[in-house]
């Protein structure tokens, strides 16, 4: 081979080639770390915060029962405020903060198992609106306490769609949804079957789309208490709470 | 040969050290530019071995080829035929393998392996 056969121009283009390859490498590797990395980071953050929230909710429930016990003891000591303590228990129960038992019905709503070819998969799922319809029907039937998958419904409870899950209170729930309601079982069942949207689930959709729905009356049912926080930020009692 | 390998390594090192990136939208341009550079490099090596290498022709050929390729990609983007950049890719690809074959044969004859 001859010496000096490669001219500066050729050398220069080889440098350019190396540069271009390096730039392409930089760009694709940055893309790779930017895309799935960010998503999984966010998923991690959400999951760890959910664990944290769970712990805090349990702690809150603990503190609430401590508080109730202390109030009772204080009432016992003084003797005078027994009626006050009874009133407090009653209010707490009405607000949905304490677990309650009684007769009622249990409704299970589960997604359909197999999607027929060409069909809309959304038809085979239980949606937030389905749950809301059933819950509303139960309240129409005089339900006194309702929970969905262990989430007690209180005045501030939302039931809404959150991606592939349904959000009740601050918990993300998945199928099957077990709805427990305390009230007159016969009355509750009638209310559900009388409700247009709710009854469709049982009469039509269950057979048409294979939704796993069932309803059973029970003489003894337990509905859990609300575990989330109740901290009104804007609302204050009107007329001094009278 | 060693000088070319060193030049390539120098370019890669420079690029990695400066950590330059391009927007995602420009990745197609970058790909075509890389192909044009590979084509030019092999063409240059071939011309050198044939002893017909000329700096002016080489650099101007590299630049016009790259610009034309970029133009084809640009036009494809504008008229909604994204795949138009394949024309440049195929043309450069063919030439790369053609030149590679010629370079191989030239080296063999030079080293007296025929």
Which pair of tokens denotes residue A171?
A: 């918990």
CA distance B76 to A39: 32
Chain A, residues 31-60, CB within 8 A of chain B, namely 31
B106 reaches A (C-beta below 8 A):
no
pLDDT tens-digit series, residues A24-68: 888 888 877 766 666 777 888 888 888 998 899 889 889 988 988
pLDDT tens-digit series, residues A127-156: 999 999 999 999 999 999 999 999 999 988
Query: What pLDDT was estimated at residue A1?
Result: 46
Cβ–Cβ of B4/A21 closer than 8 Å? no
Which chain A residue lies closest to B24 (C-alpha atoms)? A27
Cβ–Cβ of B16/A13 closer than 8 Å? no
Which pair of tokens denotes residue A103?
A: 């007769």
Partner residue opposite B34 with nearest CB, options A5, A21, A26 = A21
- Residues present in chain A in total: 242
B37 reaches A (C-beta below 8 A):
yes
Burial A52-81 (b: 16+ CB within 10 A, else e): eeeeebeeebeebeeebeebeeebeeeeee
pLDDT tens-digit series, residues A170-222: 888 988 999 999 999 999 999 999 999 899 888 888 888 888 899 999 999 99
Q: Which residues of chain A have a CB within 8 Å of the CB of B11?
A: 14-22
Give the SS3 label for residue B23.
coil
Give the SS3 label for residue B67.
helix
B8 reaches A (C-beta below 8 A):
yes
Which pair of tokens denotes residue A227?
A: 């575990």
Residue B112 DSSP one-character state: T
**Which residue matches tokens 């590797």?**
A29
Which pair of tokens denotes residue B30?
A: 């970058």
Residues A113-125, mean pLDDT to the nearest whole number? 82
Asked whether residue B28 carries a pLDDT value surpassing 80, the answer given is: yes
Cβ–Cβ of A22/B13 closer than 8 Å? yes
Query: What pLDDT was estimated at residue A179?
Result: 95
A84 reaches B (C-beta below 8 A):
no
Cβ–Cβ of B12/A20 closer than 8 Å? no
B62 reaches A (C-beta below 8 A):
yes
Cβ–Cβ of A26/B20 closer than 8 Å? yes
CA distance A185 to A102: 10
Chain A, residues 15-34, CB within 8 A of chain B, namely 15-28, 30-31
**Residue A235: band (very low, low, confident or very high) from pLDDT cuts 50, 70, 90:** confident
Which range, A85-89, A193-197, B49-53, has the best average confidence (pLDDT)? A193-197
Asked whether residue A3 carries a pLDDT value surpassing 50, the answer given is: no
**Residue A88: band (very low, low, confident or very high) from pLDDT cuts 50, 70, 90:** confident
Residues A88-97, mean pLDDT to the nearest whole number? 86
* pTM of the model as a whole: 0.53
- What are the residue ranges spanned by the domains of chain B? 25-111
Query: Of A88, A96, A45, nearest to A70 (Cα)?
Result: A88
Give the SS3 label for residue B22.
coil
Question: How is domain A102-223 classified at the architecture level of CATH?
Answer: 2-Layer Sandwich (3.30)
Query: What pLDDT was estimated at residue A73?
Result: 79
Beta-bridge partner residues of A101: A222
Q: Which residues of chain B have a CB within 8 Å of the CB of A5?
A: 48-49, 51, 53
């Amino acid at each position: 081979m001859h010496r000096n056969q490669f001219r500066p121009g050729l050398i220069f283009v080889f440098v350019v080639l190396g540069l271009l390859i390096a730039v392409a490498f930089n760009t694709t590797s940055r893309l790779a770390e930017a895309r799935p990395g960010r998503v999984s980071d966010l998923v991690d953050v959400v999951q760890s915060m959910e664990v944290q929230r769970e712990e805090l909710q349990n702690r809150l429930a603990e503190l609430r029962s401590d508080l109730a016990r202390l109030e009772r003891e204080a009432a016992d000591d003084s003797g005078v405020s027994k009626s006050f303590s009874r009133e407090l228990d009653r209010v707490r129960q009405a607000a949905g903060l304490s677990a309650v038992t009684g007769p009622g019905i249990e409704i299970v709503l589960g997604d359909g198992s197999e999607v027929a070819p060409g069909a809309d998969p959304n038809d085979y799922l239980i949606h937030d609106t389905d749950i809301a319809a059933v819950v509303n029907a139960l309240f129409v039937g005089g339900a006194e306490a309702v929970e969905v998958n262990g989430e007690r419904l209180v005045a501030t409870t939302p039931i809404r769609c959150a991606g592939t899950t349904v959000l009740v209170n601050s918990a993300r729930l998945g199928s099957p949804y077990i709805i427990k309601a305390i009230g007159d079982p016969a009355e509750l069942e009638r209310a559900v079957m009388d409700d247009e949207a709710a009854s469709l689930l049982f009469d039509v959709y269950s057979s048409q789309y294979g939704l796993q729905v069932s309803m059973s009356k029970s003489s003894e049912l337990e509905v859990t208490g609300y575990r989330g926080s109740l901290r009104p930020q804007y609302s204050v009692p009107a007329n001094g709470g009278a | 040969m060693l000088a070319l390998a060193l030049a390539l390594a120098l370019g890669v090192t420079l690029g990695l050290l400066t950590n330059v990136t391009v927007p995602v939208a420009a990745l197609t341009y970058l790909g075509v530019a890389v192909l044009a550079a590979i084509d030019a490099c092999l063409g240059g090596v071939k011309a050198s071995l044939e002893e017909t290498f000329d700096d002016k022709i080489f650099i101007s050929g590299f630049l016009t080829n790259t610009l034309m390729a970029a133009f084809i990609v640009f036009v494809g983007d504008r008229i909604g035929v994204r795949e138009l950049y394949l024309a440049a890719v195929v043309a450069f690809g063919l030439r790369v393998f053609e030149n590679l074959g010629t370079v191989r044969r030239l080296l063999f004859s030079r080293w007296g392996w025929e």
